[in-house]
Amino acid sequence: MENILTLRPVSQQVVKANVDTGISTVSTNSPIIVANTVEGNFNEIKNNHIIPVFVKDNSTLISHYDFIDVTAEIAATVFSGEKLLSPSIRLSHPIKGRIPDARDKPAHLLQEHEKTLYYERMAFAIEIPTIHEDIDGNTLSLTVGGVKAYSQDNLSARKGADEHFKIYIGFQNRVCTNLCVSTDGFMNDVKVSSLGHLKACLTTLFENYNASYSLHTLKDFAQYSVREEQFAHLIGRCRMYPFLPKKLQAEIPQLLFGDTQLGMVVRDYYRDESFCKGSDGNINLWKMYNLFTGANKSTYIDMFLERSVNAFQFIHGLKDALRLGGNNWYLS
């Protein structure tokens, strides 16, 4: 990795690593996603959350703790010698229960030790701050992580049935903690039957990730701009896209962002301190990309990574059209 990226010293103090994971106890201070989620604590997930099981044989599924732990393990191996920060964890869809001895108690009288809890869905990010680069005045650090939703698994099966995961590697903008994930840094719907199988998928993704290409493309975004009239036209086309006939949609680059997210993009085009338009109304594609990835924080866990990748593809398509003078439906 060192022959691809420029490594710079990290100003953040790194304290003793967690014995279980090798992850530094220093965390990022802003969530990667906020919509319908709560902050998760790694040790609480490990010690207090129950683990779903396959109904047929009562065997455990891969827990959220195990998923985070093996991701950190593989990242520490592939990027040996680098510092890993503690995971930023977001949880949603709590599944609550109680121990048998408290089955008849009114809910308001339950003691903490009588309650059980796990979360159906989880997203996390582990930052590697010693591998970083600057783009247009923003520092980006390498980040790995994933998404897990037990709702995608067949809990009525037995051990050995497919368990579904989404895993990624990309860069995180440390100004705003926006995730920059490209197609080659994302594996969607990873189906595994064991923890070892999941480790193999993580290793393949991390080792094959082309960080140099991703950074080169992200830097290129800053070289191209659109005028305010073009931006207004583009947003209008984006809002038209979901209502187009299916045949026409199939001929146009896909856009997964809904009207709520597009409204945030427009708001921050005027108001965001770091990525708003210039005094002349122009905005470069790097800033526009961050408006989209920032708006993506309002996405539910289910679509978070897909929209992250889609933002990269969307802005990349705009860049190609501006660079080559070709046709792009959103700009035409």
Token couple for 227: 């005028």
pTM: 0.88
Length of the chain: 332
Q: What is the pLDDT, as a whole number, of residue 107?
A: 86
Secondary structure of residue 168 in the 3-state scheme: strand
> Looking at residue 28, what is its pLDDT?
55
Terminal Cα-to-Cα distance of the chain (whole angstroms)? 40
Look at residue 29 in the predicted model and tell me its pLDDT.
58
What does each of the 332 residues of the chain score in pLDDT, given as a tens digit? 333 343 333 333 333 334 344 454 444 557 788 888 999 999 999 999 999 999 999 999 999 999 999 999 999 999 999 999 999 999 999 998 888 888 888 888 888 888 889 999 999 999 999 999 999 999 999 999 999 999 999 999 999 999 999 999 999 998 888 999 999 999 999 999 999 999 999 999 999 999 999 999 999 999 999 999 999 999 999 999 999 999 999 999 999 999 999 999 999 999 999 999 999 999 999 999 999 999 999 999 999 999 999 999 999 999 999 998 878 999 98
| Nearest 10 degrees: Cα torsion 10, 43, 189, 97 | -150
DSSP code at position 222: T
Alpha carbon distance 172, 127 (integer Å)? 8
Structure tokens at 260: 């709520």
Torsion angle (degrees, nearest 10) of CA 186, 150, 173, 35: 130
Q: Where are the domains of the chain?
A: 38-210, 222-324
Contact 164, 198 (CB under 8 A): no
pLDDT at 148: 97
Per-residue model confidence (pLDDT) at position 286: 97
On whether the CB atoms of residues 65 and 45 are closer than 8 A, the answer is yes
Three-state DSSP state, 308:
helix
Which residues in 19-57 are b (16+ Cβ under 10 Å) and which e? eebebbebbbeebbbebebeebebeebbeebeebebeee
Beta bridge partner(s), residue 25: none
Query: Residue 185's closest CA among 217, 153, 163?
Result: 217
Neighbours of 133 (CB within 10 A): 19
Distance CA 193, CA 196 (A): 8
Long-range contacts of 17-23 (CB under 8 A, 24+ apart): 17/84, 18/42, 18/86, 20/46, 20/69, 21/68, 21/69, 21/72, 21/73, 22/72, 22/73, 22/76, 22/84, 23/72, 23/84, 23/85, 23/86, 23/87, 23/126
Residues paired with residue 17 on neighbouring β-strands, in sequence order = 24
What tokens does 290 get?
């961050």
What is the torsion angle, in degrees rounded to the nearest 10, for the CA atoms of residue 75, residue 81, residue 86 and residue 89? -20
